Copies of this chain bind each other. A is one copy, B any other.
């Protein structure tokens, strides 16, 4: 059955935004912003070229990317005209963030820049400051950053604009999000799959994204791949994705054709939305997209040094770079800049001409001042349920089994239900929600998907709080867009595969770090990763699914922008997540298992444990954990289970040894407080790990993560660290510990060696323990090869309270 195509006779009345067109004013506006974009790249002085251009007017370092600017300016010009006519709420996402000079030109001209930077006034003084500030120390970066209003997408690393735009549109039914995708960016995988996002978009309750594929034909040094596709190829491709593609810049002037395409496209958007909002069922609505074809560096120099520039890859960055010393370059750039006739666009005082100002939207209709783009200002806190309603009752410590993720599923079900009406909470996931045992959420909501689905499906429908697509990139992009427009969300993921978005997380943490340096950027809700199906409990999978490295990825970021939690049981997980869902301006990483595990802490205990981040578990220690011979520390739920089993073995077999059991739930508690807000101060750290006492530390991830945190702690050589040693395959749960030397038996042997070194009187006991452990390990190996499962002794192990 074919997709729903917008009927050609769209409406009997002419809508208010109709008749978008190229006019004298749009032509002048385009000249003005192209002039301003180029002026920023070259000029430190003489911003309106009132004096003949001299080398000393020119910046010493010429940085920037001219090539993409004219296209961005073209889009701005007609978006402005459209906004003025339609009075529409428009949030622009610009994929080619290197064209910041263009965005800046528009922000300057419509006055939105001065709302944040008051010295960027629209007169000669402000204009001089403005052109100079670009790519200047202490000024604006060369690409889009959070330091510019309206930006929800850092420019630089390419690929994520489109998914981010959809994230902004979800649950904002009145918002239009045009998204410029450059033909370089279009080659990336994340963009290539983000086109599918319309299959998830609900026209009744979500806003619209208008993708604008900007083809200028070249990347840095080569033709772009999309630039070698002709109109038929592109029409077929985007029709296949499900769009109604409109083409501009193919037959006539790009200006005329873009205005026409914009009008058609918005008519499609409104028709689809109005049908859906009147309750008409639409099968595969064909959302519009625009292919905009313009020459690279359009209106720039035709030729430099005898080689064509406009319309070629040579227009990518700064044409005619040599103008400090090369008079030919100087003349070429001057001629080019003057071709925009700035004297007709700015008056004697440097003020933009009245018709240019009139061409700009007003107030928060200005693109850079769209309220949704300043998400912190529109964010409302979530209504949170009591964790008590999802917690695990501890009848006997360690005596019952529960799945941490199932408990979290119950909690998130309540969170979802409580905030259902506010439509400001979403869960994104690469088809792993149920596999991660968070399926309880689906009791109260669906997976949102608007294309027709086969009959045999569950929990899927056009309206739902869960969004599942097998693309971590799309999940992350959607969530970033959603959070930065003031909403809340959680991203559950398989631990080993979340690293797919390593660099996206990296860019997002950079975005947050910069945002926090700007008083006008208000706080946005934290980005919450929940990782499960972890390295230690890969049942259906093997070595390729064992990778706890995302912790290490996070640790490269600024200490105040990240948190890493490894709650040891279900109640700790709930308390942690409650905290995460109220936290702001940070990336929270929470790692917890999905398999049933012994439970250790009551909710009250968990709350206290999580508040401090790391504590002595006296009830698990021998001799009340005082004057200990050794500290046995666990971080992460599975390694903690082995710590507990080792503690019990030691209690049984070496009752006079003084073993303190410590648990670390907030990994960054190990770091120094100068770097990490949650880092324990030196006294507190020494209370936990008394100086001079050796520590056997059993960690969930790669030990490198712990090593870097402990590096600044004195005498860190006393820490003996175990973790995932990059050993694994499809094997039994306990065998994973054996292969990585994190098993109870390995811990006991490490303890024995260290206690014997301190207390020679126990040498022989230590030897007996070690022999016993080796025997156990040998039995284990034989047993699993024969039976394919772990020994009953391990599977049936239960904690015996003292």
Contact = CB atoms under 8 A, between A and B. Distances in A.
B219 A431 contact: yes
A542 interface: yes
Nearest to A442: B221
A730 B189 contact: no
Interface in A675-729: 702-704, 707-708, 710-711, 714, 716-717, 726, 729
Given A61-B789, A228-B199, A726 B185 contact: no
Interface in A492-539: 496-497, 499-500, 502-503, 506-507, 510, 513-514, 539
B64 A540 contact: yes
A11 interface: no
Contacts of A188: 189, 193, 470-471, 473
Contacts of A605: none
A145 interface: yes
Given A188-B470, A313-B456, A235 B240 contact: yes
Interface string A295-337: 0000000000000100111100100000000000000000000
A493 to B, nearest CB: 12
B189 A2 contact: no
Contacts of A190: 189
A115 interface: no
Copies in the complex: 2
A617 interface: no
Interface stretch (A340-348, A568-576, A780-788): A780-788
A361 interface: no
A366 to B, nearest CB: 25
Interface stretch (A14-22, A46-54, A550-558, A652-660): A550-558
B313 A788 contact: no
Contact of A726 (B143, B557, B716): B557
Interface in A236-250: 236-242
Interface in A345-359: none
Interface stretch (A106-114, A153-161, A628-636): A153-161
A552 B154 CA distance: 23
A59 interface: yes
Nearest to A135: B730
Contacts of A454: 217-218, 223, 227-228
Contacts of A596: none
B556 A187 contact: no
A395 interface: no
A545 interface: yes
A433 interface: yes
Contacts of A502: 499-500, 502-503, 549, 553
B193 A556 contact: no
A416 B616 CA distance: 61
B556 A731 contact: no
Interface in A623-669: none
Contacts of A261: none
A525 to B, nearest CB: 22
Given A189-B471, A732-B137, A432 B711 contact: no
A61 B784 CA distance: 11
A431 B229 CA distance: 18
Given A137-B784, A232-B2, A710-B711, A222 B460 contact: yes
A457 interface: yes
A447 interface: yes
A556 B545 contact: no
A118 interface: no
Contact of A704 (B220, B547, B704): B704
Given A313-B456, A470-B219, A784-B137, A726 B513 contact: yes
A794 interface: no
B234 A240 contact: yes
A193 B184 contact: no
Interface string A110-131: 0000000000000000000000
Contact of A239 (B240, B317, B506, B785): B240
Given A137-B732, A145-B542, 20 more contacts: A63-B540, A63-B730, A137-B731, A137-B735, A141-B542, A141-B543, A143-B730, A156-B543, A159-B500, A196-B225, A220-B434, A221-B434, A235-B240, A237-B241, A313-B457, A499-B506, A500-B502, A506-B547, A556-B702, A703-B708
Closest 4 A/B residue pairs (Cβ): A237-B240, A156-B544, A189-B189, A192-B192
Interface of A: 1-3, 44, 59-61, 63-65, 97-98, 132, 135-138, 140-143, 145, 154-159, 184-185, 187-194, 196, 199, 217-225, 227-230, 232-242, 308, 311-314, 317, 431-435, 447, 449, 451-454, 456-458, 460, 468-471, 473-474, 496-497, 499-500, 502-503, 506-507, 510, 513-514, 539-545, 547, 549, 552-553, 555-558, 702-704, 707-708, 710-711, 714, 716-717, 726, 729-732, 735, 784-785, 787-789
20 contacts: A1-B230, A63-B540, A64-B540, A135-B730, A136-B788, A143-B542, A156-B544, A157-B497, A189-B194, A189-B474, A191-B193, A192-B193, A221-B468, A222-B431, A228-B453, A237-B240, A313-B457, A500-B502, A513-B726, A714-B717
